[in-house]
Amino acid sequence: MICRQLPLVPIAAALLLAGCASDPATGPTPEEEALTTPDVSTSSGKVQAFMLRGQVVFGHESRSIQPCGSNQQYWLHLPAGDLPAANAVAPRGYEPMYGEFIGYLEPAPEEGFAASYNARFNVKQINLLASEMNQACQQPPRKTRAFGNEPGWTVEIAEDTVSLSRISYPTQQQAISSRDIRSGQQTYKGRDFTLTMTQAQCNDTMSDALYGWQSTLIWQGTEYTGCATLGATDVTQHWVGQYQGHSDLGVTVLTTTLNLLPDHSAVTAYSYSDGQPGLSEKGFWQQAGHGKIKVTMAQYQGRRLISERLFTREDGQLSTRQEVINGETYDLGESGLTLDKLSPIQE
């Protein structure tokens, strides 16, 4: 067991004892809101699933994802039922693929191939896995779309409009008059169309790719079938930023700086006004309900230690009154911990 003690302890014990012991500017679309229902139960409470896209490597001793625009890597844990289909599209020799997954993060296990990672990304659903899209991280996330072949067709959803593109035909658009968004199925209707997307593995016959949805489109009386993918935007990115707070410990002032990065990694740095050496923790973050975020630290000064703080955001501030360290709950004093959001992020 690793024991955090004064003067090395950052928050929980430092505030208690000397021993061991703003909302986004625009809301998510209905499609994106369906991804963030707080229905993922973990050993330490519920969190919200989110979309993670990046470079994926499959192999006997490695199954990882490196989020787009990041050097961070997470162990990728897929449901057993998805592994055969995923392995079927994976190239040999640890060559990278592009992937989009809906899931959540948790601390990596202490043993096995995943132990060297700070976190494990548990996949609830594959949205897309493709070996032919190595440059996809260089492009903005795609919107929700359905598509098929023979004949080739593509439907894209943008706000309240559906656009249909077909080879040798001009693009057609229709307004969406109704939506039925639920777990495992999405249905859109307009004056002359109905689009139904059902959660199920789907392979495009024209490419070596695996998709997470099957689709049926009825457009002006003609039926088309194919695959589909949800919009690949991570709607929890409004939490990203740098947050800072100060705690008066009597003989010194402790400054806590929390960086929440776009790849869902988190870094907490601690500095003391009396010149004590600074300290740091590394881990990850994820939304845990409306106006709440869970920050999990997996490494303290380079050693494994699991600490969790559930923050509430109000008036641009993050605040919490408790910290869970290796399963034990500690109060953070009478005033708790409050962090103000700063800008920009400073690593």
More confident residue, 301 or 328: 328
Q: Do domains 15-23+236-342 and 49-138 have the same CATH topology?
A: no
- pLDDT of 1: 37
More confident residue, 41 or 60: 60
- pLDDT-derived band of residue 7, with 50, 70 and 90 as boundaries? very low
Half-sphere exposure of 75 (CA within 13 A, CB side): 19
- pLDDT of 31: 56
Please give the average per-residue pLDDT across 308-318, as a whole number.
Answer: 93
| Residue 29 scores a pLDDT above 70 | no
On whether the CB atoms of residues 285 and 307 are closer than 8 A, the answer is no
- pLDDT-derived band of residue 22, with 50, 70 and 90 as boundaries? very low
Give CA–CA dist 337/60, Å, rounded.
43
Architecture of the domain made up of 49-138: Beta Barrel (2.40)
Q: Nearest-5° angle of CA 102, CA 106, CA 110? A: 135
Q: Nearest-5° angle of CA 217, CA 138, CA 294? A: 85
Provide the pairing of β-strand 153-158 with 241-248.
Answer: unpaired
Tell me: the pLDDT tens digits for 68-106?
999 999 999 999 889 889 988 888 878 899 999 999 999
| Percent over 90 (pLDDT), the chain | 61
Give CA–CA dist 210/130, Å, rounded.
6
On whether the CB atoms of residues 96 and 68 are closer than 8 A, the answer is no
Give CA–CA dist 109/56, Å, rounded.
20
Please give the average per-residue pLDDT across 145-153, as a whole number.
Answer: 91
Window from 42-51, 76-85, 256-265, 267-276 with minimum mean pLDDT: 42-51
Please give the average per-residue pLDDT across 166-172, as a whole number.
Answer: 92
On whether the CB atoms of residues 171 and 153 are closer than 8 A, the answer is no
Give CA–CA dist 226/147, Å, rounded.
5
- Fold adopted by 15-23+236-342: Lipocalin (2.40.128)
Structure tokens at 161: 């409009």
| Residue 112 scores a pLDDT above 80 | yes
123 to each of 109, 126, 284, how far by Cα in Å?
16, 7, 16
- pLDDT of 116: 86
- pLDDT-derived band of residue 9, with 50, 70 and 90 as boundaries? very low
- pLDDT-derived band of residue 340, with 50, 70 and 90 as boundaries? very high
Say how many C-beta atoms besides its own lie within 10 A of residue 198's C-beta.
14
More confident residue, 229 or 289: 229
Please give the average per-residue pLDDT across 223-227, as a whole number.
Answer: 95
| Residue 14 scores a pLDDT above 80 | no
φ/ψ of 30, rounded to 5, equals -55, -35
| Residue 50 scores a pLDDT above 70 | yes
In the chain, the N- to C-terminal Cα span, in Å, equals 29
| Residue extents of the structural domains in the chain | 15-23+236-342, 49-138, 145-229
